[in-house]
């Protein structure tokens, strides 16, 4: 399993500025993903995870994923999030309500 670590707010800020993106444009990873289960503290929605993978050409490659609420597997038990927590997550991600046309 590749090494996973939770990035600090400062690291996330630098990452987003470097690549000129917002959190909602990063690839996603569910909070219930098995790769996150052993991290302490447990990642919460909105956290950004740095993943170190071995690469045959580069030696090591780094990937980034933003934690999203939910589960990747129906039988996985995930605590329910309050509406307030979900609104806070959406606000942090910079998501806006979808407009129907």
For position 55, what pLDDT does the model report? 83
Q: Looking at per-residue confidence, does 38 or 58 come out higher?
A: 38
Burial of 65 (0-12, 13-18, 19+ CB in 10 A): buried
The domains of the chain, with CATH numbers, are 3-92 (3.90.940.20)
Cα-Cα-Cα-Cα dihedral sign, residues 25, 63, 32, 38: negative
For position 7, what pLDDT does the model report? 97
Query: If you average pLDDT over each of 30-34, 43-47, 74-78, 80-84, which comes out highest?
Result: 43-47
Specify the pTM: 0.71
């Amino acid at each position: 399993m590749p090494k996973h670590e939770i990035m600090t707010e400062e690291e996330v800020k630098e990452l987003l500025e470097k690549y000129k993106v917002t959190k909602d444009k990063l690839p996603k990873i569910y909070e219930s993903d098995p790769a996150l289960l052993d991290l302490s503290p447990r990642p919460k929605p909105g956290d950004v995870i740095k993943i170190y993978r071995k690469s045959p050409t580069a030696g090591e490659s780094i990937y980034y994923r933003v934690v999203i609420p939910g589960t990747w597997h129906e039988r996985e038990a995930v605590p329910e999030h309050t509406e307030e927590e979900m609104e806070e997550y959406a606000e942090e991600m910079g998501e806006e309500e979808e407009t129907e046309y």
